[in-house]
Each structure stands twice: as structure tokens, then as C-alpha cells.
A and B are shown apart, each in its own frame.
Chain A
Amino acid sequence: MTTPDRPAEQPFLEIKDLSVAFPTEDGLVRAVEGVSLSIERGRTLAIVGESGSGKSVTAQAIMGLIDRKVAKVTGEIWLDGQELIGLPANELQALRGGKVAMIFQDPMSSLHPFYRVGDQITEAINAHRSMRAKAARAIALEMLRRVGIPAADRRIDDYPHQLSGGMRQRVMIAMALINAPELLIADEPTTALDVTVQAQILELIASLQGEFGITVIMITHDLGIVADVADDVAVMYGGRIVEVASTGVLYAQPEMPYTLGLLSSIPRMDRELSARLEPIPGNPPSPIQLPPGCVFQPRCTYSDRVAGGTCLNVRPDLLETAPGHLVRCHLPAEERRQISQGVLNVLAGGS
């Protein structure tokens, strides 16, 4: 991907110290805390993590979709030189569906059940530019073809319920891409789909990304999908980013014990069958009662290797362990690498 003329130190999207908290009856839900990320133009960043780790809330914050009346949002989000958190609602509205677009897990939640899919797409066009109805329809039709809807000239007049899950997701993608976004956020876009359809949709997103040079944030909990599509990966746990690396590094040299735990728990078809899986013990923390030290500490098998109960009491920072590779863990880097290589060797069938 070629980068246009711009200062190299300024990434296309940069999130600085983003926090989102929801005051609720049960207490303050700290959904996202101190998330910092940056993405270069044209690349794909995957965000992985367990349910409740804050992936969707992060995405919603970038899209300006978090209701300020119910949540406290702090930090900065810079998109192509423009700060988004301080932006007035009407300017955010103009960005959404234009320069930035989003695809959700459940297409039915963003397709209106009573309107024909073609009309919904032309409405999305009209929200950002004025155009004659006929021309808009032609563009919509072309995009439906482009995303692989068979017999698009007939399907354009269908209602969402007349389409299969995979086709609805294609319509969603068509709608997201109709105004040529520069940033596409896909929040679990294939979780509701079968593997064969998932493969189609992921390939579609990848090819459209290549064609239009779109920057993609792919939110998923599936490490197979990450391996398939991502250039870089951010691992989230308990509302924070605990590890960031390029995809190859994350799978070959993970350092954060949680990442290691994730890689150990998944059954893998490409490996000799092991008698037992190695799950991460325990359950993820409640965002209302986060542990005071490292949020992963209650489930971490290595916390006693750090002297003085530091893991219990002190929040670790996200620090660079190698260029482009950030880890949030108190363990010395050398020790983390040793642990990691040991675990990965066992997983690969060595001893």
C-alpha cells in the first residue's frame, strides 16, 4: 500500500488514552480504559479479545456512536489529522457512512426491515451527496453486483428478510462501501455466518480493501480470522490493550500471558491432536470490579514469578518490548520470551 504525502510520524488513525465508562445502578462499568492505538493507511488491524473485553465499545467510540448522556468518554481519537472526540454531533454524522463506515455482526440490526435494500442503499448515498434517484440506483446496483449478490437487478428490490444471512451481510458491506469510506470498522462481521460463507465475506472485504485502499479495523474473537486477514493485532482484556504486534510476531512470539493462554486454548485442525486443551483457568473479570493490579492476575499462572505481589497491586503499563511490539506485563521481557517459547514448543508437539 502506498502512503500519500504526509508526515510519517502521523498515522492515519491514532487513538490516545481512550477511556469509556458507563455509570450504572450496579456501579461504574469501566468498559475501556487507556486504550492507545495507531493504524497506518491501508492496513488491517485486528482487535481480539473475550466477550466483554471492550472491543465493540472501542469501535463505537471511533464511530462517535457512544451516547454522551450515558457514558463518560475521555482521550483523543485522531483520524487523518482531525480529532473526533471533541467533534460536534452534526460533523460526526457527516463522517459516519462517509469517510468512516461500519459493518456489524448482525446485519438485521442495521438494515431496516420494512424498506427494500436498494432504497436503503440509495438513502445512504443521498445522506452524503445529492444525486438523481436514477443515478443513485445505478450506483447501488453496481455496488450490489460488486459485493457478489447474484441477480442483483432483482435483489435490489427485495426486503432484508428475503435474503439469506450471507446475502444480508453482503448488502451491509455494499451499504458501508457506497460512499467510498477510508476507514472501515467490521465488528464481528462473520460471527453469525457459516464457515463457507465466512470465507466468501472475508475474501470480499480483503479484495475491496485492496481495490479501494481502505483501512480496516477487524473486530473478532476468532484467532483463525485474525491470522487470515490482519496485518497487525491488538489483544484486549478487561477493557485494556494487553499486547500489540504485527500478526506474524503475535503468533510466533507472543509475550503477554493472556495471549499465550488464548493460543493454548484453541483446538487446532492443523496440529496433531492433543489429549487435553489447556484452558485459561477462571473467568474474565467484571468491568465493575476490576482487579486492582494487573487485570489478568486472577487467571495468570505466572504472577507469582513477579516478586512482592506487584501483579496484585500495581497496574502494568503497555510498554515496547521490540519495535512495534507492545506488552502489558510486569514480568521481565527475557522471562516472558522464555515462557512463551516453552509453551509454543509444547503446543507445536515438541517437548
Chain B
Amino acid sequence: MTTETGEILRVSDLRTYFPVRSHALIPRVIGQVKAVDGVSFQVGSAETLGLVGESGSGKTTVARSVLMLVRPTSGQIVIDGQEITHLSPKALMPMRRKAQMIFQDPYNALNPRHTVGGIIGAPYRIQGIEPPGGVRAAVQALMERVGLNPEHYNRYPNEFSGGQRQRIGIARAIALRPKLIVCDEPVSALDVSIQAQIINLLRDLQQEFGLSYLFVAHDLAVVRQISHRVAVMYLGHLMEMAPRETIYAAPLHPYTHSLLSAVPIPDPKLQKERSRIMLEGDLPSPINPPSGCVFRTRCFQAQERCSVEVPPLIEVAPGHQVACHFPVATLPAGIETALATLENQPGVPVRRPQPAGDQVSSAQLDRLPADGRPDSTPVRPKVRVGRSR
């Protein structure tokens, strides 16, 4: 389904750090939030790359960095062949024609004092472009295209529902016929029945205009519906990136497994019977991330090596990249087939999941004595497959 004729966006080793200041009268910088810490990916033309991960994993920061709405600390961003991180705000203006953004919150993203016509027409004014037939006609055509009544040209945002406001944001984003739209949680604030309308609209627009999307969301079912490829983020790092089918059917990273198994399935029989991985704890602080693999404090696969060595993002199959020392195939049902295909690929280290009790858990890793062997304190298993009910 991917129609890869070219590359619209390339992000290389992106790092975006935010200073942490003390609360003193004259604040000092006392640390850094490594919101995005070495992320690389590309998006092809007419392709959607889904970006998923927990709250605080850095998705929004990636999205905003890509459009230079926050300045990256380091790394390269190439949009349609042009490197943009060194550009001045003024020199960035032409880039904004090629790349636009849609925001999560349709309530706050629109200026309440501007009419819908003014909001959707703003990109023309800012760029000094006079569309053929005039701004009003162009805006009304856009309104029609996204499913708004063109007669509502002079209405204000508060007269529209959440779904309609998101359509306003979409109309504004496509006004200049960009090549890339960065969507930050575009449907998260909407009811499911409205979500589906917006997802369908985004897909139709993609086909009509050959748009590329960087689609940030935390809802894995929504991301599956719209993405060609999916990247999974955790604490500022990419954990896994693969074509959609692979991410959902044959993920390798323990975090991807955990995420997928945590999503409740809207089928009472399946949901109550299925076994699940229960991750414990929350995302660690990005100010003081764990050493080695950032996921190790919650990982059911964690070994000693994970606390000392950062796992690099390695391509294990064409288009499938994983950052893990001990990737796992499907857990636990279907494990034989998935592992079998994997073991046939040279160079992929595969470990069969062990019963939780035998594992060196991350809690133990935190207490590793000097000789590197875990002490004998029993810890709760990090993974429980199945439900307690």
C-alpha cells in the first residue's frame, strides 16, 4: 500500500533537550530533560509514519522539532531535500508551505476571536499568496472539501463541535497544498464516532493530494488504521520501527509487546480470555534516565547487559529496526512459529522468554553488587502473563 516514490522527511540523530532550572530567585540551569535523545527516521511521499509511545516519551517534541517549532539541540532535519535546522526563522517561511501541523486540542488550537474563514485563510495571508479566484473562494472550497458548510465562513470556532473544529484545523493545514502534515494526536480529544470521520478524511486527503503524514498518537488501534509504518518511542528513544503489519503481528521489542498487550480489546470474550503482559511502574524521569537501555527498569527481559550497554537501533529485517539486546518474538502463544522465522535470519539474537521467576529482574539490576551478580533478595516478577481474576 506504500507508494514510495520519494522521501519527504528525513530526521537524523535528532536530540531536543530542555533545560531544567532551579526555583531560586535567579534560576540556574540544574539539569536537562532529554525529551528526544538520538532519534532517526524518514517518511516517504504519500506515506504515513505512525509515532506511538507513552505520555512523556517525546512524541510531541519530535513533532514540534520536525517543524522547528522548538529548536533541536542537535541533529539534521531534511524536508523535501532541504536541511532546515540551520535556517533562520525567516528562511524557514518557504518550508512552512511544504510542511504543516494539526494539533490535538481543537479547542485551544484555534483563535476564538477569528472567524473560521479568517483561520483557514491565514496561511495565504502569512505567505502572501493569492489563490486563483481569491482567498474567500479558496477557503470555501477547502471547507467543502473537509466536510464543513461553506456558508459558515463567518462563524467563530466556539460555534462548532470538537470534530468540526478539527476539520477547521485540517482545512487550514492543507490550504497551501503541503507535502507533509505533522499530526499531533489529531483525534485523541474526539469521541469514537467522530474519530472515525476524521481518520477517514485524513486518508482521503492523503490519496487525493499525495500527502505524507507523521502521525503522533497513543492509541495503537487508531495508528494501525492509518499508518503504513509505525515507530515506537520510549523515554526519548526509538525502540522499534517497522511496517505496520510487522509491528502489530510480529513485534520484537519487549516494550512493543507490552504496549500491544495492554490495549483492551472491545470483545468481552477475547478480552477476558487473553493473556497479557502487565508492566509495572511508570515511565522514569527523563531528567535522570536509567543507564544502558532506558526501558530496563520495566522490562521483563532485562539482563545485566541492559544496564550497562545502550542497545543500538539495528535493522533485523528489511525495514524492521529494533533497539534491544534480547528481542522476543510473540509472547507466549504462537511463539514457535514466530521464533522459527526469526531464527532463520542470521545475526538476530533470540532468547526464548523464560518463566518470570528465573529472570534477573530490573529491580535486582538496580541492586547489583560490585561483582555484578544479583543478590538473593526475592523480587516480584516483572511480568505476569494472564489475569489475576
Contacts and interface: CB of A to CB of B under 8 A. Distances in A.
B281 interface: yes
Q: Which of A198, A221, A224 has the most CB of B within 10 A?
A: A224
B298 to A, nearest CB: 8
A270 B265 contact: yes
A266 B192 contact: yes
B200 A224 contact: no
B259 A266 contact: no
Interface string B267-289: 11111100010111111000000
B222 interface: yes
B307 to A, nearest CB: 19
- Chain A contact residues: helix, strand, loop or mixed: helix
B192 A227 contact: no
A200 B264 CA distance: 12
B115 interface: no
A199 B263 CA distance: 8
Contacts, number: 136
A226 interface: yes
A226 B388 contact: no
Contacts of B267: 227, 251, 268, 270
Interface in B182-220: 191-197, 199-200, 203, 218, 220
B203 A276 contact: yes
A293 interface: no
A277 interface: yes
Interface in A233-272: 247-248, 251, 261-263, 265-270
A237 to B, nearest CB: 10
A51 B221 contact: no
- Chain B contact residues: helix, strand, loop or mixed: helix
Contact of A228 (B196, B272, B279, B283): B272
Nearest to B264: A224
Contacts of B55: 165, 194
B260 A269 contact: yes
Contact of B221 (A199, A267, A284): A267
Interface string B155-194: 0000001111000000000000000000000000001111
A277 B196 contact: yes
Contacts of A248: 268-269
A164 B281 CA distance: 10
B388 A195 contact: no
Contacts of A196: 54, 258-259, 262, 279
A274 B276 CA distance: 25
Nearest to B204: A276
B389 interface: yes
A319 B217 CA distance: 40
Given A164-B282, A194-B283, A228-B264, 11 more contacts: A150-B281, A196-B258, A199-B264, A223-B266, A224-B264, A263-B266, A265-B193, A268-B221, A270-B270, A273-B224, A277-B200
Interface of A: 50-51, 150, 164-167, 194-200, 202-203, 206-207, 210, 221-228, 230, 247-248, 251, 261-263, 265-270, 273, 276-281, 283-284
16 contacts: A50-B192, A194-B218, A206-B388, A221-B191, A224-B271, A227-B270, A228-B268, A228-B272, A263-B266, A266-B266, A267-B225, A273-B225, A276-B203, A283-B163, A283-B164, A284-B161
